[in-house]
Structure 1
Amino acid sequence: MTMTKFALVLAASALTATAVFAEDAAPVVADTDANGTFSLAEVQAVYTAVTEEAFKAADTDASGELSADELKAAVDAGAFTAA
């Protein structure tokens, strides 16, 4: 196999892998007020089943909003699931 064919095969494999991982990616919550954190309403726009109780449990610093890390932890733990 020539180096050019090898590079093309490698590139095609990378694109396929990226597409597969993109399908598994969590939905994106929009920071609609651009304050750098996520409110209950912003989270519920994507994760409609999230209750106030679940949101408060994910808000580990009790700030009233979720940081990106808190949101990711809740999603990774399965506490927030997209409808």
Structure 2
Amino acid sequence: MTKFALVLAASALTATGVFAQDAAAPVVADADANGTFSLAEVQAAYTTATEEAFKAADTDASGELSAEELQAAVDAGAFTAA
């Protein structure tokens, strides 16, 4: 159980570390620790994120955003802090 907790903590730090570059940018948490970000997870950090913008950012049409897809959307201004 301790190993699981350590792996989970390391995963959370890795996933959120990508978005720590801009102190003003919200941190998107991978709440279910599956390595991708759902619309609900993105909307928890970017309340103005729409389903349409999310689908456009989901370039592989997987229904979830990878860290790279999320970062590209944020960099492009698709998701902005409210």
SS at match of 2:45: coil
Structure 1-normalised TM-score? 0.70
How far is 1:28 from its partner?
Answer: 1.1
Distance 2:7 2:81 in 1: 35
Structure 1 alignment gaps of length 5 or more = none
Higher CA-based Rg: 1
Structure 2-normalised TM-score? 0.71
Aligned residues: 81
Structure 1 runs (4+) deviating above 2 angstroms are 3-26
Distance 2:66 2:48 in 1: 19
* 1:47 equivalent in alignment to 2:46: yes
Alignment correspondent of 2:6: 8
How far is 1:17 from its partner?
Answer: 23
SS at match of 1:21: coil
Structure 2 alignment gaps of length 5 or more = none
Distance 2:70 2:35 in 1: 12
Whether contact under 8 Å (2:30, 2:37) holds in the other structure is yes
Distance 1:6 1:34 in 2: 12
C-alpha deviations, 1:49-77, integer Å up to 9, x for none? Answer: 11111000000000000000000000000
* 1:69 equivalent in alignment to 2:76: no
User: How many percent of aligned residue pairs carry the same amino acid?
Assistant: 90
Cα RMSD of the aligned pairs, angstroms, is 9.7
